């Protein structure tokens, strides 16, 4: 049972345009979310995070939006650059105090290709 889902395996955008990567989750107890980026032959690297007390967090060209009622988050990259081409994973933190305390649950990943 996939608790964190990225339903789009791939996304292709033109350089300079906006990239929007989506992520859905099923557990309303999740209260912290992270996005990671992964290049081939490297480990995932942290990109941006958001707490459930916020609905938006911005860091340069990257913005994460959280819609708690829809259990949905999205990562916006504006403007997209060819160097952004990578696999993007969203992850949710399991709540502390539960049997699954303090672990990250990852989505399947979305491969972004930014064309020059």
Partner 1 sequence: DADVTQTPRNRITKTGKRIMLECSQTKGHDRMYWYRQDPGLGLRLIYYSFDVKDINKGEISDGYSVSRQAQAKFSLSLESAIPNQTALYFCATSDFRAGTETQYFGPGTRLLVL
Q: Most distant CA pair in the chain: distance in Å?
A: 47
96: preceding bond cis by omega (within 30 degrees) = no
Counting contacts by CB under 8 A, is residue 49 touching partner 1?
yes
Segment lying near partner 1 (by CB under 8 A), choices 10-18, 44-52, 53-61, 62-70: 44-52
Q: Find the binder of partner 1 among 13, 34, 75, 114 (CB under 8 A).
A: 34
- Taking the CA atoms of residue 26, residue 55, residue 76 and residue 92 in that order, the dihedral angle to the nearest 10 degrees is -40
| Residues engaged in binding partner 1 (CB under 8 A) | 4, 6, 9, 32, 34, 36, 41-46, 49, 89, 91, 93, 102-104, 106-109
């Amino acid at each position: 049972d996939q608790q964190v889902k990225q339903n789009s395996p791939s996304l292709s955008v033109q350089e300079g345009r906006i990239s929007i990567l989506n992520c859905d989750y099923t557990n309303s107890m999740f209260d912290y979310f992270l996005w990671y980026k992964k290049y081939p032959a490297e480990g995932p690297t942290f990109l941006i995070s958001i707490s459930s007390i916020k609905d938006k967090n911005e860091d340069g060209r990257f913005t994460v939006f959280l819609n708690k009622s829809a259990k949905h988050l999205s990562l916006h990259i504006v403007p997209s650059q060819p160097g952004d081409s990578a696999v993007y994973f969203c992850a949710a933190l399991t709540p502390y105090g539960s049997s699954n305390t303090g672990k990250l649950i990852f989505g399947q990943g979305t491969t972004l290709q930014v064309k020059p």
